[in-house]
Amino acid sequence: MSNDTYPDFTPAPDDVVWDLPGEGPQRTSLLVLPHAGGNAHAYAEWRAHLPADVRLLIGQYPGRGARFAEDLPRTIGDLAGPVVASLPAGTTDDLVVLGHSMGSLVAFEVVRALQAAGRTPRALVASACRAPFLANPCAVHPERLDDDQLVAAIKERGGTDDGILDEPDLREIIIPSIRADFAIDDVYRCEESAARVDCPVTVIGGDADPVAPATTLGRWAQITDRPFDSYVLPGGHFYFQQRLPEFFAVLAPVVGGHLPARAAA
């Protein structure tokens, strides 16, 4: 795991991985890993855009939600390890792992860990992120920024409710986990020789994303010998927020099945 070690404890599994199944038998599981500073709440609305037979799983990182009292993460292993340990039984039989921004790197490490355990997922989807063997071209350096400067940097990227960032009491709660996540994202890099997965890879990004420029997304093809697909949608770093139907139309062939009518409308 890129010289990182997993924590030596496992929190309550349902606090680490939210389980939002659809109706009826669940054919496929989609595991979503949030962006730096993100949490599971931000992705819960995706349930309405997925087929009823796709089980939605969302990772919740330390320092937020029910895991607020835990130590803040220091390495990518602190983010990925508990997720791997907390996956509900049976979900790796037909699992697609998706991450957004830093979450793509967490997703990559989750796939590698499952692969090492003989439980390779069906596919990896990376959204708005550099390939894992590349150095971070847009490091935030949170250790150099005071809270106001860090908030400004977050707002520039988008993806976080500005009302939360502008409310002093709420900001005080979320800033530590944001600092921790960006510190991990700043320095993470997997050796190119080790950056390999044995499953198909799909990468999606925004055409105006300054953090993960569309021209760099193709580098993800180097981590697999399996099928690779790349898609670019209009928008910035959080391109999907204004284009969820188009985003899930791209995702649909990966998870299989058909979009529900309310998402396709």
Find out whether 53 and 27 touch, Cβ atoms under 8 Å: yes
Q: Which of 86, 101, 104, 177 is catalytic?
A: 101
Residues making up the chain, counted from first to last: 265
Which two three-digit tokens encode residue 137?
A: 């071209």
Nearest to 140 by CA among 175, 179, 166, 176: 179
**Is 41 an annotated catalytic residue?**
no
Q: Which of 35, 49, 100, 237 is catalytic?
A: 237
User: How many angstroms separate the CA atoms of 265 and 254, rounded?
Assistant: 20
User: How many angstroms separate the CA atoms of 25 and 225, rounded?
Assistant: 32
**Is 237 an annotated catalytic residue?**
yes
Pairing of strands 17-20, 28-33: unpaired
Any idea which residues carry the catalytic annotation?
Answer: 101, 237
